[in-house]
Amino acid sequence: MRGLEGKPVIVTGGASGIGQAIVRRLTKEGAVVGIFDINGQAADAAARELRAGGGRASSHEVDIVDYAAVERAVEAFEATAGPIAGLVNNAGWDKAVRFVDSDRDLWRKIIDINLWGPLNVTHVVLKKMVKHGSGCVVSIASDAGRVGSSGEAVYSACKGGIAAFGKTLAREVARQGIIFNTVCPGPTDTPLFATVTESAGGLTDALKKAIPLRRLAQPDDYPGIVCLLLSDDANFITGQTISVSGGLTMHG
């Protein structure tokens, strides 16, 4: 894809699942990737593997809920990779429970990771993008934020917020040459999905039957659209929310 060669890109939650798949594809496209992850050992291992294969990647242990830690990690990445040209807000977490059975501690954790975290990282990175007049941001939300998902009320609220956040910033910074888009995954076969659905017997089979393409998504189903939106091939696409769900949800 045009324009990814040598482009410094940060991917949060890039050590596993969808984030790791995105990182792998970005390095194949020639991007210089910073893997931001709370699991430092996993981030180190992922970066070493990519470098061994000829990719350019660095690891940064960071809790995105901590604004000051995000600032330090962004500065460290930019010091070696150059001005940040791309950001993928991918890190997320959830625990499935009916809202009436949940408590404020759970709400706080879900909101911290899925809303405050992307706000923190975007705020730090966007100031730098505005300064040098270009940049692309892709946030990984969820179809739960578009159509709801039983047992994920607070998570859905956060992901809907991320989509609205991206549309608003797409308007605010368009004249500074900065592009914002949001990708909404459907049910995806990841460790997080297994954790969320472990108490709901038969849910996976039911979802497969409901999805027109008759399977759960795999992490490798997302890097293509993310890399496209970060590339020069999509430099007239901004403020969009794109569902990648095998047809489970459709809009347009």
The pLDDT averaged over each successive group of 10 residues in the chain (252 residues) is 97 96 98 98 98 98 98 98 98 94 98 98 98 97 91 96 98 98 90 62 73 88 98 98 90 66
Range of the domain at 175: 8-188+219-243
Distance CA 56, CA 162 (A): 29
Is 108 a member of any domain? Answer: yes
For the chain, the domain total comes to 1
In whole angstroms, what separates CA 122 from the centre of its chain?
11
Is 209 a member of any domain? Answer: no
3-state SS, 69-110, equals HHHHHHHHHHHHHCCCCEEEECCCCCCCCCHHHCCHHHHHHH
Q: 159 with 114: CB under 8 angstroms?
A: yes
* CATH (domain of 173): 3.40.50.720
Nearest to 211 by CA among 155, 241, 250: 250
Q: What is the pTM of this model?
A: 0.93
Is 214 a member of any domain? Answer: no
Is 193 a member of any domain? Answer: no
Is 3 a member of any domain? Answer: no
Is 155 an annotated catalytic residue?
yes
Is 69 a member of any domain? Answer: yes
Is 173 a member of any domain? Answer: yes
Model pLDDT, residue 20? 97
What strand order describes the sheet that includes 32-37?
56-61, 32-37, 8-12, 86-89, 135-140, 178-185, 240-244
Distance CA 197, CA 191 (A): 10
Distance CA 228, CA 29 (A): 10
Q: 135 with 89: CB under 8 angstroms?
A: no
The one catalytic residue in 36, 155, 180, 222 is 155
67: enclosing H helix or E strand:
helix 67-81
Is 232 a member of any domain? Answer: yes
Nearest to 149 by CA among 17, 245, 222: 245
Question: Tokens standing for 208?
Answer: 């497969």
Q: 221 with 242: CB under 8 angstroms?
A: no
